[in-house]
């Protein structure tokens, strides 16, 4: 969201980033004005606890098995997500966010798709509002699947029930705008979107890589010794099996004569598995600065990784991390377009990755497909070109037309 926020600021608009207190430092690094609201949520702790518990995990938003897409399963899915995700994220900040919006009176509120308190705050102060999506529209997908299952309309789903109660506390009536926004902003090219489940107004913006302040290492300006390949630890499975497959990938690249460069957030470098001493490690924030000199990006299915590679026209190889719940859908879509190869973690360990990596590095097909995807990605409006559309939406709302 940061490049679009700066595009609005550069156009002369006042911009505020509202977020939980623990995100204040990262948000302030953008150079924009930050407003900490409410208290910090406990989602990370709940997720960590859930991984330690045996049994069925929370409903996968990219679920495709027919037996898991019936009315009962989808109703249970909403109950799980409201209880163990959306309430945890929104309830600590809702009251303070509404108070801030009523005080500051924004004309437009952009909210990421699980921050429903942003929609409530916008409605409470009369602002236009829309979702800024960070992946394929999995939330609209879940809504569409639930409605297609023809549940009893007299029994509201858990999300509707919760939002009705949460909004009423601030004098706001429930509407579908609280669920899916008055409009949505997409960062993925048309070919990767779930168009059959989209409703309402949709705007496109090209992804502009941003990961915080970044430093280009001196060695990155030198000619690579061989084909340089980025391997992203940030999106990789952190299980023992994941660490083993990560080492296998690095070793396989070195055997193929490539120069692997490991990407890791600074705070995660201590958790990196043991690697050969000649392997360089770079801060993930600098990923987009390194891609121009690379032949391939290997990752676990992280959305930022997909987008960075799309912008650069870089072939991708994915060892899919099951924790990246949107990764399967994007991976399959890119694989169908020929711009990516992927294997499961289990296959990477049992069958190895050497042949897959060699095929991507040595075959022109994946690179040509990745370049076509780059052209599609860059055909979307840049953030500054999105600003007039956002201005019109805000002005229409202010004129009582929305």
The per-residue pLDDT string of the chain (402 residues; one tens digit each, 9 = 90 and over) reads 999 999 999 999 999 999 999 999 999 999 999 999 999 887 777 766 666 665 545 557 777 777 777 777 888 888 888 888 899 999 999 999 999 999 999 999 999 999 999 999 999 999 999 999 999 888 888 888 887 786 677 778 899 999 999 999 999 999 999 999 999 999 999 888 876 656 668 899 999 999 898 889 899 988 888 899 999 999 999 999 999 999 999 999 999 999 999 999 988 888 899 999 999 999 999 999 999 999 999 999 999 999 999 999 999 999 999 888 888 889 999 999 999 999 999 999 999 999 999 999 998 899 999 999 999 999 999 999 999 999 999 998 754 433
Residues 6+ apart with CB under 8 A from 310: 189, 207, 370, 373, 374, 377
Nearest 5°: phi and psi at 8? Answer: -65, -40
- CATH code that applies to domain 218-378: 3.40.50.2000
Share in percent of the chain as helix, strand, coil (round to 5): 50, 15, 35
Does this model's pTM top 0.85? My answer is yes
**How is the chain split into domains, by residue range?**
2-206+381-398, 218-378
Architecture of domain 2-206+381-398: 3-Layer(aba) Sandwich (3.40)
Q: Are 2-206+381-398 and 218-378 the same fold in CATH?
A: yes
**Cα separation, 268 vs 234, whole angstroms:** 8
How far apart CA 57 and CA 300 sit, in angstroms, is 20
């Amino acid at each position: 969201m940061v490049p679009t926020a700066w595009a609005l600021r550069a156009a002369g608009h006042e911009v505020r980033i509202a977020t939980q207190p623990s995100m204040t430092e990262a948000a302030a690094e953008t150079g924009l004005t930050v407003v900490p609201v409410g208290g910090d949520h406990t989602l990370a702790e709940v997720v960590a606890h859930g991984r330690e518990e045996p049994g069925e995990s929370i409903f996968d938003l990219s679920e495709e098995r027919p037996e898991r897409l019936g009315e009962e399963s989808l109703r249970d899915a909403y109950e799980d997500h409201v209880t163990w995700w959306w309430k945890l994220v929104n309830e600590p900040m809702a009251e303070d966010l509404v108070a801030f919006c009523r005080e500051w009176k924004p004309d437009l509120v952009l909210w990421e798709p699980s921050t429903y308190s942003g929609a409530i705050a916008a409605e409470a102060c009369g602002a236009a509002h829309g979702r800024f999506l960070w992946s394929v529209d999995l939330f609209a997908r879940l809504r569409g699947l639930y409605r297609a299952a023809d549940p009893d309309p007299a029994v509201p789903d858990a999300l509707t029930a919760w939002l009705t109660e949460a909004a009423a506390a601030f004098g706001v009536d429930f509407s579908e705008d609280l669920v899916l926004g008055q409009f949505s902003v997409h960062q993925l090219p048309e070919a990767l979107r779930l168009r059959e489940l989209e409703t309402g107004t949709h705007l496109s913006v090209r992804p502009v890589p941003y990961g915080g302040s970044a430093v280009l290492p001196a060695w990155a300006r030198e000619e690579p010794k061989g084909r340089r390949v980025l391997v992203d630890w940030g999106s990789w499975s952190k299980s023992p099996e994941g660490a083993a497959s990560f080492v296998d990938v690095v070793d396989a690249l070195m055997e193929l004569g490539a120069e692997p460069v490991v990407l890791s957030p600074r705070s995660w470098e201590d958790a990196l598995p043991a690697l050969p001493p000649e392997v360089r490690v770079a801060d993930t924030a600098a990923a987009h600065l390194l891609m121009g000199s690379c032949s391939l990006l290997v990752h676990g299915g992280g959305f930022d990784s997909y987008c960075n590679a799309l912008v650069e026209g870089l072939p991708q190889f994915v060892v899919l991390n099951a924790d990246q719940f949107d990764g399967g859908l994007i991976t399959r879509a890119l694989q169908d377009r020929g711009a990516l190869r992927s294997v499961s973690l289990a296959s990477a360990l049992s069958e190895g990755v050497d042949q897959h990596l060699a095929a991507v590095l040595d075959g022109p097909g994946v690179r040509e497909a990745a370049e076509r995807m780059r052209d599609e990605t860059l055909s979307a409006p840049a953030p500054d070109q999105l600003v007039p559309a956002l201005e019109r939406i805000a002005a229409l709302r202010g004129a009582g037309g929305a």
